[in-house]
Structure 1
């Protein structure tokens, strides 16, 4: 997997969600920048994350992010690695301890572009997030790291209690019903 793979997958990506359809062209435009996988592209850059489910598909691993003070799926910066699936799985392991997974599908599961507020010397920018879905074969592996206030298995039925009306997370929940 590399930039060419991501471009090809984005070009053929089919979605029923209007916002994702709009994101496709923006992602494809971003890929023209040599440093789109680097934080040095200050307007926005590629990130990758994972929608990690329990084997019964009833819960998802979310972490309460210290810097953003929000419940989110595990993920992070590509930092130059064009293999976004590898980035997503590395972030999942680092942020939750989950390493034994079964990927759902041959490609990404969702795309999103979201604003990140300015912080210290880093200006406000956007994350172009490529999202993969998986099942954690051993949900007991779950543990938090220093980047999070908490990490937990959250019931898909009670997701709003943690994330409010965060459209992109609720969209991923809706997509889960198609597995």
Structure 2
């Protein structure tokens, strides 16, 4: 079944804390319950994929300023039916940043988060079961353009912490990134 590889990855993931543990368990239950969990047409929620991008020296993180949400976030987006969530994360990161040097670090999941997306036009409020993967990119590569974002920038971990009050982002910033 196309959901099994993600369930296996989720079961193998080591959450950073009790909150991430609870979100990981909720995501496993969601994926097991809804065969169409990768489709954004599932209006109660759906699986999304994100990329946590670091510089080769691990001193910088890449964040995008999301146009619709008006927040600094990691690149990512909808699976649109694709059960290979790591490939979704890579595709979304490439589309949103224009980077071609992205290289996945490790075989597992970096972070799991469940968060609400607010009501927008005719789309009801819903949950994103966001699966995050770790990537490295060339710090010197030029960014592309995307109409989904207003800015792309590398930040030191300390500077990134000052840009957000999102526990989701702060948790990823606290995680030790190794090769």
TM-score by length of 1: 0.93
Asked if structure 2 preserves the Cα contact closer than 8 Å seen for 1:92 and 1:99, the reply is no
1:100-149 C-alpha deviation (Å, 9 max, x unpaired): 12221111100000110000000001100000011103542323311111
Asked if structure 2 preserves the Cα contact closer than 8 Å seen for 1:98 and 1:139, the reply is no
1:28-82 C-alpha deviation (Å, 9 max, x unpaired): 1111211100111111100000011111111111111111010100000000000
Residue aligned with 1:140, SS: coil
- Name the residue aligned to 1:112: 113
Report deviation, 1:177: 4.5
Residue aligned with 2:49, SS: strand
Aligned length: 178
- Name the residue aligned to 1:5: 5
Asked if structure 1 preserves the Cα contact closer than 8 Å seen for 2:63 and 2:154, the reply is yes
- Name the residue aligned to 1:166: 166
TM-score by length of 2: 0.93
Superposed, 1:23-38 pairs within 5 Å as 23-31=23-31, 32-38=33-39
Report deviation, 1:178: 5.0
Residue aligned with 2:57, SS: coil
Residue aligned with 1:176, SS: coil
Distance in 1 between residues matched to 2:16 and 2:128, nearest whole Å: 22
- Name the residue aligned to 2:14: 14
Report deviation, 1:99: 2.1
Residue aligned with 2:40, SS: coil
Residue aligned with 1:170, SS: helix
Report deviation, 1:161: 2.6
Pair 1:47–1:103, CA change in 2 (3 A): same
Asked if structure 2 preserves the Cα contact closer than 8 Å seen for 1:143 and 1:151, the reply is no
**Which consecutive unaligned segments of at least 5 residues does structure 1 have?**
none
Residue aligned with 1:22, SS: helix
Distance in 2 between residues matched to 1:63 and 1:106, nearest whole Å: 24
Alpha carbon RMSD of aligned pairs, Å? 1.6
> Does 2:82 match 1:81?
yes
